Amino acid sequence: MKPPKPLTLFRNPFKPISTLSPLSSSSSNPQSNHTQHAHIPLSKTHLYSSFFCTLIEAYLACRRFSDATRAFSSMRRLHGLNPDTDGWHRILYGFNASGYVSQVPILYSEMLNCGRTPNVFTHNVLIHAFCKLGLIGDALDLLRRVETDVVSYNTVIWGLCRGGSVESATGFLSEMLKRGVGFDAFSCNTLVHGFCRKGLVNEAQALRDMLVRGGVEPDVIGFNTLIDGYCKIGRMSVARDLFERMRREGVSPDIISYNCLIDGYCKVGDFSRAEALMDDILSAKLDTDSPEGENGCLNLEPNIVTHTSFISAYCNQKGLDEALSLYEETVKNGFLPDVVTYSSIMNGFFKNLKLVEGTAVFREMEKTAGRSVESAMFMKDMLVRGIPFDLITYTVLMDGLFKVGKADEAEDMFETLLRVGLSPNHITYSALINGLCKVGNMKGAELALLYMDEKGREGNVITYSSVINGYVKKGMLTEAIDVIGKMKERDIFPNVVTYGTIIDGLFKVGRDNLALDMYKEMVERGLEVNNYVLDILVNGLRKIGKMGEAEGLFNDTVQRGLSIDQVNYTTIMDGLFKRGKTSAALKVGHEMMENGIQPDVVAYNVFIKCLCKLGKFDEALSFLSEMKALGMTPDHATFNTMIAALCKKVKMDAMFKICDEMKSHGLYPNLITYSTIVGGLCEEGEVDKAMEVLNEMTAFGLRPNSIIHKKMLHAQARGKNADSILQMHEHLIEMGLIPDLDIYNNLVHILCTFGMISKATSVLNDILKRGMPRVCLDITTYNAILSGLSEAGLMKEANEIMNEMQEKGLDPNAVTYNILVSGHGKIGNKKDSIRLYCEMVRKGFIPMLGTYNILINDFSKVGMMIQARELFNEMHKRGVSPNSSTYDILIRGWSKLSNRAEVQRLLKEMDKNGFVPCGSTIGCISNAFARPGQRGHTRRILKSFYERKESERFLHGLFLIDTFPYTDYEAFQAL
């Protein structure tokens, strides 16, 4: 594990960063103390100041701010010129419009100091500047104090809407009427836009309808704003209706109307409708070009905005290559890509982890934009709705660098962005915070949050969800939950992503009940399960043994109309494979392909895992080749799966061969690979060989983990004494193992398993004496001890520990009960196992499948089949699905009682669920039912019959061929 990276962010967070020398404050300007100015004849002062004003306007227009401020200083301090009111207005307006808004209030006071009288226009510019600076209070103050017109009010409405306060903005309409200024289409459209931006499109429409009834003229801008509003919330049919209505009402759609619709269709992936609209524009253009065709649609030509919508959507939905070829075509047709086009492409590269190409696009942009002189005009084009091109571009770049794993460079990029004078908005901060969280730098993330706060930027649900994710990934759930509290304080409501993140985290640390509470809360708040949350819940429920509930949820969600995606399919397949329901899993695979979803690397890994599990290594290998042929890159999971399977089958030579193949793919064994191999060798008792592998592993800089610790100690324990176990434990710590609660639980568990109870107790006391940080006896520790005792069959000692635990006030949890029920079950102590089973069920815990299997087996093996059947029904009732072993156990039990009918019924049910009886079950069946002297023969028939069925399922599922008809039980009947 890498040590936490030093904080490079905010090495000096509060240093003023600016390349500009701000206006005003004359004392800092050496020129200002001169009483004698450069000589300008009095008759020419008007001409000169007018010239300066024009120069300043020009500089501002092309964002050469330092030149503009220098020219202003020169005019005022060097030449002592005082422009007339018109001149001051031009400067004020220029600064305000160019984006260098912070200077407007300063200029305004200087204007007053110079004896010029402000009028409505002056104040409107100032109000506008206040609004842009987020100083709504100052804007409203001014509005109260000075002469106003409709523009002043419209500006304030705009400012309020921009800050999200649409309700108070709407309130100004009545004040406008009262004051006799009246409102106009500007007021209306601004408010409509304000509502739309918050997603309140219905409210926007209602307001507009009302104002139109009150006499406001419906115009193209109002229609466009509403159309765009509907597009943005994905309600394309309503947007389209409005578009048609607009034509009917005699308002001609313009290119913006078309662009809104096109972008909307692109975003929902309806490219054919988007393209049809593009064709409409082109044919309308042809009509206008031809002398006779005049359809009223002037200036209807696609522009770079139209094309960028397509390019961007292609990037996100069709893939980078498609986007790039569209981009090339656009350029070839003479459209000049602008900053948005470039940023989209750059983003596409980074999202596809193409660092070199992404950076190259950025350099190209820099080059084009920085080519000064005449490129000044180009820079102006790069201004998009008043946002300097750099902010989003830099955000894309920074985010991209984080995504490709260049966290240091990403942080540098953030500093650069500050250095060039950009002020980050909440999205930039969110991207930064997310990046820091992803590299685990939570301190940096918290600092960035504070910094953002100080700069007056408010985080949104995405910002905080990123932080939550950061904590969740570190297992710091308490901190994650605290963030939710912080969000609620700020009226930022967790959304489905926030809930998904936290639910996932809670399941992963085993706090299942809290996870389910969160899920409940989410549903109560009216949030709907999506593909992500479905997957999180299915995985979580599966993990805690509530497979029945998982399946129920899955089916409910499908019923509700959610279309299952690739990940959902893969998870379900994996779940079914793990439960041995091979054919059901393959059916899902079939369904997935029928729905046009191609299996990806993960799905292939699931197939390969299943093949391995069934011992079909050759087929697994052919899947590996197939993956490569399809251009997919096998990953660590692919190889680790095969390695694990070969380890289990004790085919260590083949396993090492796979390791070599993995290396030939440029993939090096990771911690999972090593744990698997070490585990495999340990199972074989090859402790020395395992240690050799561990030495290789540490040479690669990997530390042993708790899995390795467990396996090594277990292997070492066989036939040895407690001291040698402790020696191995110490040795692993020397190799870099970090001793935590898990590790001590392992140690205690193993000592108990091998009956070294007193040694275990002394280790425990030792830990307590040494005061291991964060190590305290919890239910997990007790479960570890109980599990060890249980495995060793020492149930008397287990009962004593259980009593001690309860005296200390620790309540047994689901894990404890599963351990104890199984423990008593395994030694045939039916009285206690059933007593504890009843107790756990009464407390609402659901026994795991394994626990049921042990219980059923305990009754079944002594012929108590009525009780076994009762337990089997109980598990059904509680939503626990049987696996292959459950059926094997029952069939063997009934076979011993020669109950042909039960055996037939169970075989049929087993088959329906996609299971096949194992070898020993087949043995039991033939022993019970075959004619004397025919047992071996019958066993062979049965065996080949079930093997054939298994392979047919494969063929049926994987290669989609029809299974040839056979009578299910012909072999059985033939007995």
Partner DNA sequence: ATAGGGTTAG
Q: Taking CB under 7 A as the criterion, which residues in 283-322 touch DNA?
A: 303-306, 308-309, 312, 316
Pattern 545-584, DNA, x by CB under 7 A: --------------------x-xx----------------
Helix pair angle (636-648, 671-683), 10° resolution: 0
Interface with DNA (CB under 7 A), residue from 26, 416, 425, 698: 425
* Tally of CB atoms within 10 A around 40: 14
Give the nearer residue to DNA in terms of CB position, either 534 or 642.
534
In the complex with DNA, the residue whose CB is nearer, 566 or 761, is 566
Interaction of residue 492 with DNA, rule CB under 7 A: no
Name which of residues 443 to 462 contact DNA (CB under 7 A).
460-462
Tell me how far, at minimum, the Cβ of 390 lies from DNA, in Å: 8
Q: Are 891 and 910 in contact (CB under 8 A)?
A: yes
In terms of CB distance, is 139 or 611 closer to DNA? 139
The least distance separating DNA from the CB of residue 530, rounded to whole angstroms, comes to 5
Q: Is 330 in the site for DNA (CB under 7 A)?
A: no
943 binds DNA (CB under 7 A): no
Which residue(s) pair with 387 in the sheet? 384
Residue 497 vs 903, nearer CB to DNA: 497
Please state the closest distance from residue 930 (CB atom) to DNA, in A: 49
Smallest separation (angstroms) from DNA to the CB of 448: 12
Residues in region 200-219 near DNA by CB under 7 A: 219
Cα–Cα dist 424/13, whole Å? 14
Q: What is the smallest separation between the CB atom of 914 and DNA, expressed in angstroms?
A: 24
Q: For residue 134, what are the CA distances in angstroms to 23, 123, 385? A: 20, 16, 17
Token pair in block for residue 885: 């072993």
Rounded CA separation 415/17 (Å): 9
3-state SS class at 319: coil
Q: Closest CB to DNA among 9 and 71?
A: 9
Q: Does residue number 423 form part of the binding site for DNA (CB under 7 A)?
A: no
- From the CB of 267, what's the least distance to DNA, in Å? 7
Q: Does 434 bind DNA (CB under 7 A)?
A: yes
Greatest Cα pair distance in the chain: 132
**Nearest approach, Cβ of 355 to DNA (angstroms)?**
16
Residue 535 or 551: the one with the smaller Cβ distance to DNA is 535
Q: Is 504 in the site for DNA (CB under 7 A)?
A: yes
Contacts 24+ apart (CB under 8 A), 453-456: 455/423, 455/424, 456/134
640 binds DNA (CB under 7 A): no
Report the residue number, 259 or 813, with the smaller CB distance to DNA.
Answer: 259
Q: Which is nearer to DNA, 602 or 735 (CB)?
A: 602
Give the up-direction half-sphere exposure of residue 687: CA atoms within 13 A in the CB hemisphere: 16
Shortest distance, position 18 Cβ to DNA, whole Å:
19
Q: What is the DSSP letter of 756?
A: -
Binding to DNA in span 506-545, by CB under 7 A: 530-536, 539
- What the block records as the tokens of 210 is 């009302």
Percentages of the chain per state (helix, strand, coil), in multiples of 5: 70, 0, 30
Minimal distance, residue 575 CB to DNA, in Å: 13
If one asks whether residue 186 binds DNA (CB under 7 A), the answer comes out as yes
**795 to 834, contacts with DNA by CB under 7 A?**
none
> 824, 887, 827, 828: which is closest to 853 by C-alpha?
887
In angstroms, give the least distance from the CB of 440 to DNA: 13
Q: Which of 39, 145, 178, 385 binds DNA (CB under 7 A)?
A: 385
Judged by CB under 7 A, the residue of 152, 395, 753, 913 near DNA is 395
> How many residues lie near DNA (CB under 7 A)?
83
Residues 455 and 14: beta-carbon distance below 8 Å? no
CB atoms near residue 596 (< 10 Å): 6
Nearest to 498 by CA among 530, 540, 474: 530
Find the part of the chain contacting DNA (CB under 7 A) among 113-121, 332-340, 703-711, 922-930. 332-340
Q: How many CB atoms lie within 10 A of CB 822?
A: 23
Of 329 and 626, CB closest to DNA:
329
Decide if 223 contacts 242 (C-beta within 8 A): yes
Residues 250-279 that bind DNA (CB under 7 A): 254-257, 259-260, 263, 267
Half-sphere exposure of 182 (CA within 13 A, CB side): 5
* DSSP code, position 23: S
Give the one residue of 76, 193, 240, 709 binding DNA; rule: CB under 7 A. Answer: 193
Are 452 and 419 in contact by the 8 Å Cβ rule? The answer is no
The residues in 215-244 that bind DNA, with binding defined as CB under 7 A, are 219-222, 224-225, 228, 232
Site for DNA in 851-890 (CB under 7 A): none
Place of tokens 């080059």: 367
Contact pattern for DNA over residues 705 through 744, marking x by CB under 7 A: ----------------------------------------
Site for DNA in 142-181 (CB under 7 A): 158
Whether the CB-CB separation of 163 and 195 falls below 8 Å is answered with: no
C-beta neighbour count of 937 within 10 angstroms: 12
Nearer to DNA, 100 or 845 (CB): 100
In this structure, are residues 641 and 627 in contact, taking their beta carbons and an 8 Å threshold?
A: no
Among 7, 427, 593, 632, binds DNA (CB under 7 A): 427
Distances (CA, A) of 211 to 133, 149, 165, 220, 328: 29, 19, 19, 15, 46
For residue 781, give the nearest of 825, 749, 814, 829 by alpha carbon. Answer: 749
- Closest distance to DNA from the beta carbon of 35 (Å): 43
Q: What is the 3-state secondary structure (H, E, C) of 329-377?
A: HHHHCCCCCCHHHHHHHHHHHHHCCCHHHHHHHHHHHHHHHHCCCCHHH
789 interacts with DNA by CB under 7 A: no
Strand partners, 384: 387
User: CB-wise, 338 or 549, nearer to DNA?
Assistant: 338
Tokens at residue 19, please? 């390349």
Q: One-letter amino acid identity for 389?
A: F
Query: Is 391 a residue that touches DNA (CB under 7 A)?
Result: yes
Backbone angles phi, psi at 387, to 5 degrees: -95, 120
Q: How far apart are CA 731 and CA 694, in angstroms?
A: 11
Selected binder of DNA within 5, 247, 406, 426 (CB under 7 A): 426
Instruction: Determine the Cα–Cα distance for residues 128 and 162; give it in Å rounded to an integer.
Output: 12
Q: Which is nearer to DNA, 503 or 784 (CB)?
A: 503
Q: Which of 573, 518, 520, 619 is nearest to 959 (CA)?
A: 619
Query: Is residue 601 part of the contact set for DNA (CB under 7 A)?
Result: no
- Nearest to DNA of 222, 634 (CB atom): 222
**Stretch of residues binding DNA (CB under 7 A), selected from 105-113, 114-122, 390-398, 915-923:** 390-398
The residue among 186 and 954 lying less far from DNA, judged by its C-beta, is 186
Q: By CB under 7 A, what part of segment 339-358 binds DNA?
A: 339-344, 347, 351
Q: From the CB of 735, what's the least distance to DNA, in Å? A: 30
